[in-house]
Amino acid sequence: MKSIVIHDAKDLRVEDRQAEEPGPGQVQIRLAAGGICGSDLHYYNHGGFGTVRLKEPMILGHEVSGFVAKVGEGVKGLTEGQLVAVSPSRPCGHCRYCREAMFNQCLNMRFYGSAMPFPHIQGAFREVLVTEAGQCAPADGLTPGQAAMAEPLAVALHAVQRVGPLLGKSVLVTGCGPIGILCILAARRAGADLIVATDLSDFTLGMARTAGADVTVAAGQDALSDYEAEKGTFDVLFECSGAVPALVGAIPAMRPGGTIMQLGLGGDMTLPVQAMTAKELALKGSFRFHDEFFTGVSLMQKGLIDVQPFITQTFALDDAVAAFDAAGDRNTVVKAQIKFADE
């Protein structure tokens, strides 16, 4: 089977690997679509991120969907030929955090395409994938591309769940890449009233308007000055860029008692703690997801969240290098996907 393997920065290869057979409780998936994530791009462009570095060749990918090819012993609720979205998250179920139902904080997490542990956890960008049945969400009624968006949508839904009630709230989203766009969709579905989005790119700001942002603002010095009167406007900030200027520039526009939800992972930040303290702002982090993966699939199936406009490019498997080169261009791309098989 063909697999997309990263060896080092800018050394991406389509290689032949041995396909596996499903064991008890497992499912063999004929992969259909896979989305290129920011972490995939870090491995491709830099060989890792922060202290996480590639130490051996690794199959990339964790935003995937496919068709059930075989079911292992004891598997129920899934049938051959059925389209499924595959969650990349495999918590152990036994550690202290799993016992507390904090599955995204599992001490023994196995997440597709991660170089955090060694040996690395191989990813899902392969023509045939064997996975646990519990990771599969039936995606009947969706296209493979839509189903492959379940993973980034789950990231946004987890952040919305952590921030608390949004009904009638004013929301600011900084950074309109895939996660920022999906946060706009999720926040609106949760009842947010005013949604303002900032970014550096005219293209992504246009996509933010397509997603339902009421106002879009080009990022820069004093970009949010219209929202700073009377100690600020926004109840919630979804910070999706990971850029210090975006977070710092948003503080004056936050209402006292507001919440900063940090999703962007751009490295350590120096924060204006005194200004945050004076406004009694709460700073929260959001990391991955768990149950929200299945919720996201359900919302898409019901037509309550439409991700289709944000799948902006699709590439053939053999064009994987071109796909990765294109995926980082925020002037033309929101989500680039790789097509592994026909529907």
pLDDT at 343: 66
Same domain, residue pair 183 and 45: no
Would you give the DSSP letter of residue 229? G
Q: What percent of the chain has pLDDT over 70?
A: 100
Same domain, residue pair 83 and 187: no
Same domain, residue pair 119 and 256: no
Torsion over CA of 44, 114, 89 and 136, rounded to 10 degrees? Answer: 60
In a domain, 292, yes or no: no
Would you give the DSSP letter of residue 336? E
Query: Residues 209-224: what's their mean pLDDT?
Result: 95
In a domain, 19, yes or no: yes
CATH of the domain at 68: 3.90.180.10
Omega of the bond prior to 119 within 30 degrees of 0, cis?
yes
Same domain, residue pair 194 and 210: yes
Express each pLDDT in 84-122 by its tens digit. 999 999 999 999 999 999 999 999 999 999 999 999 999
Burial environment of residue 14 by CB neighbours within 10 A (0 to 12, 13 to 18, 19 or more): middle
Same domain, residue pair 179 and 90: no
Same domain, residue pair 10 and 75: yes
Same domain, residue pair 59 and 114: yes
In a domain, 335, yes or no: yes
Q: How far is CA 102 from CA 89, 99, 137, 220, 289, in A?
A: 12, 7, 20, 37, 9
Same domain, residue pair 145 and 161: no
The domain total for the chain is 2
Express each pLDDT in 42-52 by its tens digit. 999 999 988 89
- Assess whether pLDDT exceeds 80 at residue 321: yes
Residue 130 structural domain: 2-149+307-339
Same domain, residue pair 273 and 171: yes
In a domain, 302, yes or no: no
**Concatenated DSSP letters of 5-68:** EEEETTEEEEEE-------TTEEEEEEEEEEPPHHHHHHHHHSEETTEE--S-EE---EEEEEE
3-state DSSP call for residue 219? Answer: coil
Contact 6, 16 (CB under 8 A): no
Q: Which two tokens stand for residue 181?
A: 């766009």
